[in-house]
Chains A and B, each alone.
Chain A
Amino acid sequence: MIRATLTVLRVASRPCRANNLDLSRAADGALPRPVRIGLAIHVFQCRYCRRFLRQLRFLREAGRRFDAAAAARALESTRMPEEVRRRLSRRLGLGT
């Protein structure tokens, strides 16, 4: 109990940067309860982290509604750039 309370206090009073990754993780439900309570207290006190949290929720909602075909297109666009293909072809004597 004492340990959990100390964790809550530690997380609540950490600088915003130290809580930034955990705010993102909290959205995935991946944090122990004392850390989540500490984050909630921090966010209650800090309007900037509150805004950041709202931005994360916005992105999460956008991800949920994003068209799966468009997502596949976005991933597909990570094709080998033409200049890389040309350089490798030239260095190795392979066809493009």
Chain B
Amino acid sequence: MPVGDQATPIPPASPRPHPQGWPSALDPESWLSSHGDVMWRFAMSRADSAHAAEEAIQETFEAALRSRDSFRGECTERTWLLSILRRRLADRSRRAAREPRPAGGGPGALLDTMFDRRGLWAIDPGAWPRDPDGTLDTPEFWSDFERCLARLPAGLAEAFVLREVRAQSPEGVCRALSITLDNLWVRLHRARLLLRRCLEPAWGKKGKRR
């Protein structure tokens, strides 16, 4: 499934017959409505930001439009688009690894807000309920929990749900998300830190700045 050269002009998006005379199985007009959400979740689980995810999806559609004559229908339209998107994201990830990470954007940025230069707590962790039963029996808590979970980046939310809600083994989660164990620990850690930050104002006694 070769992807066309970036410099080649993109043909119009309207459906057209397959070069061999068969009706094309591709329908670019419906790509956004049929595959947009799946591609978005896939891209958000791997990209650094929503902006990067959007760019990767745009590049994917551009490449797919240029090379659609090469689509032989051996897999579904969605699988084809996702395979292009996976390669685009891998390219972006390789490029990003060679560039210096922008300030404030890395995984350490969250920890920077929690700890001082010596690595000690900058804001004391709040004293949360010792016995969670009282809080976890409250319907309002669950609506807040769902809201906070929905606000996590997709890749972190997926890892948290598979591991904590569905109680899958770490190895099972890694297989499902195609990630390494080390990456899983980092994702779970970040998910827990973000959930903690989101829930603390309403449900935990907020800590004091030291």
Chain A interface (Cβ < 8 Å from any Cβ of B): 14-18, 20-21, 24-25, 28, 30, 48-49, 51-52, 54-68, 70-71, 73-75, 77-81, 84-85, 87-89, 91-96
Contact = CB atoms under 8 A, between A and B. Distances in A.
Contacts of B118: 15
B170 A16 contact: no
B136 A74 contact: no
Contacts of A56: 192, 196
A46 to B, nearest CB: 8
Given A55-B125, A64-B165, A92-B13, A78 B36 contact: no
17 contacts: A15-B119, A17-B111, A28-B188, A48-B125, A54-B128, A54-B130, A58-B128, A58-B204, A59-B199, A64-B164, A66-B145, A75-B41, A78-B44, A79-B41, A81-B50, A88-B54, A94-B29
Interface residues of B, number: 67
Interface string B117-141: 0111100111111101001100001
B120 to A, nearest CB: 6
Contact of A58 (B58, B115, B119, B132): B132
Contacts of B62: 92
Contact of B128 (A24, A51, A77, A89): A51
B142 A21 contact: no
Contact of A74 (B37, B120, B150, B192): B150
A34 to B, nearest CB: 18
In terms of DSSP, what is the predominant structure of the interface of chain B?
helix
A92 B63 CA distance: 11
